[in-house]
Amino acid sequence: MSRAAAALAAKREATEERLAPLALPQGGAWATEARQGAMARLREMGLPNRRDEYWRYTDPAALTAAEAPQAAVFDAGETPLFDDIDRLKIVFVDGVFDAEASDSFDEEAVEIIRLSDAAANDIHWAKSLYGVLEARGQTPVARPLAALNTALASDGVLIRVTGRVARPVSIIYRHAETTSDVYLHNLVQIEKGGDFTLLENGPAAARFNKVLEVEVADGAAFHHVRAQGRDHERHAATHIFARLGRESLFKSFTLTVNGALTRNEAVIELTSDDAVAHVAGAAVGDGAFHHDDTVFITHEGERCESRQVFKKVLRNGATGVFQGKILVKAGAQKTDGYQISQSLLLDGDSQFLAKPELEIYADDVICSHGSTSGAIDDEALFYLRSRGVPETEAQDLLVLAFLAEAIDEIEDEAIAADILSRLEAWLARRSR
């Protein structure tokens, strides 16, 4: 047996051992089929380990372990995020739907149903999409934690958008138990011409595994802003799988504050012409903080635009990881691809590991990528101080300036202001 084959065999064995005690959630035929399919995929590829190329910079052990690492609930005493924004609220506490705290699902131009309800209904629309985008996203790179999610998630929110939705749907993930281990799987289907904003926030659980599948039809638009909660010890593995139609728009922004380990993957396919996809992230962490953004964007249509803007502020031995790829397939002419990943290291102990990749099979494209890692600019700091701005305030100003390009990806001003206030609060907690 070759070494690679032996490694795979060992991996499969470990995976079998881990999966053996697990039972798939109850559900109707389509859901069971999707879950069994995911389980089969997972058995084939095996759960990730440190020797996997795709997990070189992030150790998945805490994400795959049978027992979730515990995480205390951290109360920063802030007003809840998006509080002033008119939105339809859907609340989960440690993965359990909270009907009392949630709004009614009745809303113009959108159909909302919980996965646990839809799974029982055998003729449901979600049938043709649930787990399908996740399965497509398993090549060319395997994403076993997403397959694990499709297999195990018993709840989540399924959203079908048929027009312009007046207010955002806001999913709030509260965390209450130090030992909670949660799988949620959400699905958004936006039909032709639809326009929809999804907000997500909260730490969700001690360990959270979440998948979001998004299909954006021709001419439709999807806006997504999420804030991953700030419990210091929480672990999270999240995946976004998106498929974009002609002239569609996809914009996703993620703020991550604290957390022991976060792996956010985004897998986006621009399947038709003239589509636009932007993914952005701002992550700030201190000490035992490991944050990994892994992005894979595939251009198939012509004249599509993609942007990846990822910024990290790291302090006291925090670690940031970025793996970002732009794949331009043959025929995807006039592709405009941009990728930037940067980290601001506030001290010498922190580190940033970046692997930007371009793979291009079309000749008439513009693709650029850049990655930098550096400290606060002393010249700028002195300039600000020489005008009377105290050192910590000047530093904060420069940190926010560093993050600005990512935050600018949020189109809605009120939402952007809310996100900014979280960053300011984080800075205030650290520096004073």
Determine if 375 is a binding residue for another protein (CB under 8 A).
no
Please say which residue, 93 or 399, places its beta carbon nearer to another protein. 399
Q: For the CB of residue 401, give the shortest distance to another protein in the complex, in Å.
A: 3
Listing DSSP states for 324-366 in one string gives EEEEE-TT-TT-EEEEEEEEEESSTT-EEEEEEEEEE--SS-E
Q: For the CB of residue 406, give the shortest distance to another protein in the complex, in Å.
A: 11
Q: For the CB of residue 253, give the shortest distance to another protein in the complex, in Å.
A: 17
- Which of 94, 24, 52, 63 has the alpha carbon at shortest distance from 236? 63
Q: Which of 85, 96, 397, 425 binds another protein (CB under 8 A)?
A: 397
Determine if 347 is a binding residue for another protein (CB under 8 A).
no
Q: For the CB of residue 424, give the shortest distance to another protein in the complex, in Å.
A: 13
Determine if 378 is a binding residue for another protein (CB under 8 A).
yes
Which window, 102-110, 208-216, 325-333, 381-389, contacts another protein (CB under 8 A)?
A: 381-389
Tokens 């919980």 -> residue:
114
Please say which residue, 353 or 397, places its beta carbon nearer to another protein. 397
Determine if 358 is a binding residue for another protein (CB under 8 A).
no
The C-alpha atoms of residue 408 and residue 253 are separated, in whole angstroms, by 10
Give yes or no for a contact between 199 and 103, defined as CB atoms under 8 angstroms apart. Answer: no
Hey, is 174 helix, strand or coil?
strand
Q: For the CB of residue 313, give the shortest distance to another protein in the complex, in Å.
A: 13
Determine if 428 is a binding residue for another protein (CB under 8 A).
no
Q: For the CB of residue 377, give the shortest distance to another protein in the complex, in Å.
A: 8
Instruction: Kindly tell me the burial class for residue 89, based on how many C-beta atoms sit within 10 Å of its own C-beta (0-12, 13-18, 19 or more).
Output: middle
- Sheet holding 207-216: strands in order across? 110-114, 157-161, 181-190, 207-216, 235-244, 261-270, 290-299, 319-328, 351-360
Q: Residue 126: phi, psi to the nearest 5?
A: -65, -20
Please say which residue, 7 or 398, places its beta carbon nearer to another protein. 398
Give yes or no for a contact between 327 and 359, defined as CB atoms under 8 angstroms apart. Answer: yes
Please say which residue, 361 or 383, places its beta carbon nearer to another protein. 383
Please say which residue, 67 or 378, places its beta carbon nearer to another protein. 378
Q: Which of 80, 370, 374, 390 binds another protein (CB under 8 A)?
A: 390
State CA 46 to chain mean position distance: 22
- Which of 299, 406, 432 has the alpha carbon at shortest distance from 343? 406
Bridge-partner residues for 276, per DSSP? Answer: 249, 305
The DSSP output letter for 304 is -
Site map (CB under 8 A) of another protein, residues 399-418, x = contact: -xxxxxx-------------
Pairing relation of β-strands 157-161 and 110-114?
Answer: antiparallel
Q: For the CB of residue 384, give the shortest distance to another protein in the complex, in Å.
A: 7
Hey, is 114 helix, strand or coil?
strand
Q: How many CB atoms lie within 10 A of CB 51?
A: 10
- Looking at residue 140, its amino acid is P
Please say which residue, 361 or 382, places its beta carbon nearer to another protein. 382
How are the residues of the chain apportioned to helix, strand and coil, as percentages rounded to the nearest 5?
25, 40, 35
Q: For the CB of residue 398, give the shortest distance to another protein in the complex, in Å.
A: 7
Determine if 388 is a binding residue for another protein (CB under 8 A).
yes
Q: For the CB of residue 375, give the shortest distance to another protein in the complex, in Å.
A: 13
Determine if 384 is a binding residue for another protein (CB under 8 A).
yes
Q: For the CB of residue 367, give the shortest distance to another protein in the complex, in Å.
A: 23
Q: Restricting to residues 86-105, name those near another protein by CB under 8 A.
A: none
Q: Which of 98, 393, 411, 412 binds another protein (CB under 8 A)?
A: 393
Which window, 108-116, 187-195, 323-331, 391-399, contacts another protein (CB under 8 A)?
A: 391-399
Q: Which residues of this protein are in contact with another protein, per CB under 8 A?
A: 377-380, 382-391, 393-394, 397-398, 400-405
